[in-house]
Structure 1
Amino acid sequence: MDDLTGFQRDLLYVIAGSDRPSGQAIKDDVEAYYEGEINHGRLYPNLDTVVNKGLVEKGELDRRTNYYAITDAGRESIDARRAWERQYFDV
């Protein structure tokens, strides 16, 4: 996960905490956290990056809507990150 941007890491966390969210659902959750609009030109290239790294699976819900799901590698990456964080503060 050390090669992800903070935004990509946040996308990974949102996807991991949801059941096969659409891009729009991810956008809504991330916008709530960032308290501002996230445009498609920022969202979808970053989603493609986490998909291409094998951390997220992308599939079709219908002809116009994709879903995203965390992979085993993505879950392991999150677990490793959380273990690293616990070294510095107890959560």
Structure 2
Amino acid sequence: MEWLTSGLRRDICVLLYGDERRAQQLKSDLETHYDRRVPPERFYGALEQLESKGFVEKRVDGLEDLYSLTDGGRTGVEAQFEWMAERVE
């Protein structure tokens, strides 16, 4: 799936699988995983792309945005996982 050719977009979707997260927590979790800073414009650009393609949805909770996967996003993560599992086994 072309939407997962970007490692950052793929990893955002993996972190959102089965969970809803605030943008800042999502960014912090990615930075911990990568062991480096993710520039805000790159992070928010990836989120916007995922949202515009219909893989991620945003809802406002007070002053913060919460992100979660759509059904299409979950299907994409599951397909990616299956593809990787076939090659790693």
Normalised by the size of structure 2, how large is the TM-score?
0.89
Deviations 1:27-47 (A, max 9, x none): 110000110111211111100
Task: List gaps (5 residues or longer) in structure 2.
Answer: none
User: What does 1:12-91 correspond to in 2, within 5 Å?
Assistant: 12-18=13-19, 20-62=20-62, 64-90=63-89
More strand by share: 2
CA RMSD in angstroms, aligned pairs only: 1.3
More helix by share: 2
Normalised by the size of structure 1, how large is the TM-score?
0.88
Aligned residues: 88
Q: Post-superposition, which runs of at least 4 consecutive aligned residues in structure 1 deviate over 6 A?
A: none
Task: List gaps (5 residues or longer) in structure 1.
Answer: none
Is 2:2 aligned against 1:11? no
Give 2:10's aligned amino acid.
R
Identity of aligned residues (%): 30
1: CA distance between counterparts of 2:30 and 2:81? 20
Residue 3 of structure 1: how far off its partner (Å): 3.2
